[in-house]
Amino acid sequence: MNKQTYLDYIKAAVEEGRSRYEADIAGWRDTFQPDRFLGMYTPPGNIPLLAQTEAFLYRVTGDETYGEQAKKMLLAIESFKDIVPAEVRERHPEYAQGITSFEPLFQGTHYLTGYMFMKDSPLLAPEEKRQIEDSIRSAVQAMIHFPEWGAHNRSMLRVFTLSLAVAALGDTEETREWAKLRDYLAQESFGGWSIEDAELYLPLWLSSCIVYAEQTGKEDDYFAKPQTKFYFDYITRLIAPFGQIPDFGDANFNSFWYLWLACLEKGAARYRCGHMKHAARQIYDYAVSVLDGPPSIYLAANFAYAYVWADDSIEPVPLQTGSELVLEDVIGKKIAFRDGWHADAAYMLLNYRDEGDYAAVPRQYLLRTINAPAEKAHHGHADENSVVYLARGRNVLLHDGGYRDQAPNGKYRADIYHNRLVFREGAPEAGGSMYDFLHDDGKYHRVSTEKLHFQTYAELDYSRTRVRDPYRKVMWDRSIVYLREEGVYIVADWTQALADMRLATANLWHPATVLEAGEGYCVGQVREIVQGPGHPTPVRNRDEWALLIEFPQTSRPNGHETIRRNYADSEMMYEWDSREVTAGTMNAFVTVLTPFALASGEPRPAGRVAVTELTPAGDQLSLRYTSANGVVYDLAIKLDLEKGILAREGYPKYSWERSKLAYGKLETDADFAYVRTDGAGGGRFGFVNGIGVAYDGAQLFRTPPMSSYQFHASAFETADHKWRAWDGAFSSGK
């Protein structure tokens, strides 16, 4: 994949676009609705795209045939305004000086890019340039009536258009006003953090920031900022090992891969980064493998950016990372569980991103401006602590729920469309639909999240993330143990009520299609993935692998039912609990996710996880995993992290003898601990935030004692100290 790859595609797409031109115009006329969505006029979408791509090819090849076609498109934009009824014109103050010639955000970027390629061409007569620049002026004048602000895509798309409009028309009193507005709108985004948590919208924001930096001569400053580099590293480390971009927040399947591709080409060139270059190649290779139909002029327009920004001298370098935070626990708030970067590697993505405690006024402005109460500001979902993606062997096994069937609100933003716990007051009716009970108005209610733990060991990875939900009056921790050598994910959810109420909790998973189901389990498979509302050709998913979902030893009501999710019928698996609670009441759920090869001939890998103890108070959980070859993992999860903390005057507030807890054979004071035994006398252990671990009566590790001065007693005492994490090996008899 290089510049020539992009160029060849653009040429083919332009030929296809020319051949479809009249049919596309006729289709636009047949379906034109002046009141559609926001009621703003938009001309045929193929015209700005052809203007950009024809002009691009003229600039790159020098072939005047492309230039003449580009000029034709740039001038043709004025030919369609008479379709707008007079009553529609009259109700829009944006049209006081005439109907806008093109939609300034999503069409303006392409139209203006095309004109910038052509502006100095002798093919354009002075009067033709005046017409084109009047078209640009009309779009900017309309946009000034609603210059959305804040660090998000629609604000920066306005900046994109304004940046090119200023460059196109030159330095005048009028464009100086545009430039002032441009700079105010860009202020929070330039080298800053985006408000958005949406795979679809982040590349629109990022590419617009890139263009603003280019057009204002601020590239060196922009790319030197650590916040800027964050987003290029972010997507590089978020993609699946075979190149798919997981959809999170407002997004559809593999949304805007072509714009992420262009951004990564720019990042690779600016940072001389082979990892970004390799990520661009992965994204391209996967997306092209699932494309169907003739070359797309829309793709070609975005490939033009990729061509301009690409540097073919950068050598692609694959990443070699394992499971990791992506990239940290303040802005990214995602954890990727991986067993490698080869194309068939396993990959799961946990999203615990909340709205964040930054950009308070822009977030408030958005909430009071946009008719989208189901989204967290901005374009985010109620997906905190959700498993948004799971794949194995290039088979997608879990994915996010989609964006929306229609505007204005995004139905699939609500909590019930995600692989997570959801909370309601009351209880479902006996024999009634779980979906009907859980479904509400979908309005988003702000929560806060944080990472408590993330630790990798030789055999497994462990995370614990927390949601505080003041609306539902619940605190919820989700722990995930990824047994990497077994390819199994154990999810332990713990809740604590923050008030007295009748609390219903549902443990929801969305396997799409249920192949087999029984008490406390189902086998699911994603057969195909619809790419958006009304999309005619769903992506056919690979079908070598399926996902076994188990609720081990559950005594709770459980089952599955068909709902509408991601624009199609989809199966929702659930386990639920409803009880009277008082403030402080604890509860726990365990889910086991096991990808397995359908054609392997091996028995379904069920029943390998046992809940060896869940204390009546719900504050302590013991689990045992037994593999097919006799390897055993004993897992200890301290659900209530306050348990074992000493109520005494002095410090530290813990000791081995008084803080350790029993988990069957395993004893520890740690928040999490494991012991792995192989039946041959060998074993390994690890823990997080603890003093020590004992197993089967033998002390495997204990932190060295320390001398601690007790101010209240004016004396020293010997005390224990917790280490953040540790691991090691042992043999029987040690």
Closest CA to 82 of 38, 133, 4, 29: 29
pLDDT digits (tens, 9 = 90+) for 635-662: 999 999 999 999 988 999 999 999 999 9
The pair of three-digit structure tokens given for residue 726, joined into one six-digit string? 């540790």
- Average pLDDT value for the chain: 95
List, for residues 535-565, the tens digit of each pLDDT value.
Answer: 888 999 999 999 999 999 999 999 999 999 9
Residues 428 and 467 in one domain: yes
Domain assignment present for residue 428? The answer is yes
Span 459-480, average pLDDT: 98
Sheet arrangement for strand 395-398: 324-326, 334-338, 347-351, 386-392, 395-398
pLDDT digits (tens, 9 = 90+) for 378-424: 899 999 999 999 999 999 999 999 999 988 778 899 999 999 999 99
Whole-angstrom Cα distance, residue 341 to residue 443? 38
- With DSSP H G I counted as helix, E B as strand and the rest as coil, what are the percentages for the chain, rounded to 5? 30, 30, 40
Strand partners, 197: none
| CATH number, position 573 | 2.70.98.70
Q: Which residues contact 441 (CB under 8 A, 6 or more apart)?
A: 373
H helices of 82-152, in order, are 86-90, 108-118, 126-143
The verdict on 337 and 212 lying in the same domain is: no
Distance from chain centroid for Cα 573: 22
Q: What is the mean pLDDT of residues 98-113?
A: 95
Please say which residue of 607, 640, 655 terminates a domain: 607
**pTM of the complete model beyond 0.85:** yes
Q: Tell me how far apart the alpha carbons of residues 186 and 182 are, in angstroms, rounded to a whole number.
A: 6
pLDDT score of 410: 83
- Per-residue confidence (pLDDT) for residue 423, from 0 to 100: 98
| Same structural domain, 226 and 358 | no
Alpha carbon distance 94, 40 (integer Å): 9
Same domain, 234 and 379: no
The total of structural domains in the chain comes to 3
> What is residue 733's predicted lDDT score, i.e. its pLDDT?
55
Residue 559 counted as domain residue: yes
Report the pLDDT averaged over residues 249-271.
97
Same domain as 51, residue 173: yes
Closest alpha carbon to 385 in 410, 346, 422? 422
Strands 539-540 and 528-529: antiparallel
Q: Is residue 274 part of a domain?
A: yes
Give the C-alpha separation, 609 to 488, whole Å. 10
Residue 354 belongs to a domain: yes
User: What's the domain range around 725?
Assistant: 615-734
pLDDT at 110 over 70: yes
Q: Is residue 582 part of a domain?
A: yes
Q: Are residue 76 and residue 93 in the same domain, yes or no?
A: yes
> Is residue 700 in some structural domain?
yes
- Please give the Cα distance from 6 to 681 (Å, whole number): 58
Q: Which of 309, 334, 358 is the last residue of a domain?
A: 309
d(CA 546, CA 383): 23
Based on the fold, state whether residues 461 and 576 are members of the same structural domain: yes
Query: CB within 8 A of 696, min separation 6: which ones?
Result: 665
pLDDT, mean of residues 703-712: 93
Confirm whether 727 is domain-assigned. yes
**pLDDT tops 70 at residue 301:** yes
In terms of domains, do 547 and 582 share one? Answer: yes
Q: To the nearest whole percent, how much of the chain has pLDDT over 90?
A: 91
595-619: average pLDDT = 93
Check whether residue 426 and residue 518 sit in a common domain. Answer: yes
pLDDT at 37: 63
The pLDDT of residue 523 is above 60: yes
Structure tokens that stand for 252 in this block? 């559809």
Query: Which CATH number covers residue 42?
Result: 1.50.10.100
Query: What's the pLDDT at 33?
Result: 87
Q: Are 380 and 408 within one domain?
A: yes
Render pLDDT for 35-80 as a digit per residue (tens, 0 to 9): 776 778 999 999 999 999 999 999 999 999 999 999 999 999 999 9
Measured CA to CA, the distance from residue 354 to residue 332 in angstroms comes to: 10
Integer distance in angstroms from the first to the last C-alpha of the chain? 56
| pLDDT tens by residue, 495-511 | 999 999 999 999 999 99
How far is it, in rounded angstroms, from Cα 128 to Cα 148?
A: 31
Shared-domain flag, residues 250 and 383: no
In whole angstroms, give the CA distance from residue 124 to residue 130: 10
Q: What is the pLDDT of residue 430?
A: 86
pLDDT at 734: 45
SS3 per-residue string spanning 15-41: HHHHHCHHHHHHHHHHHCCCCCCCCCC
- Rounded CA separation 493/434 (Å): 20
Tell me which of 568, 588, 607 is where a domain ends.
607
Whether 480 and 447 share a structural domain: yes
Residue 319 counted as domain residue:
no
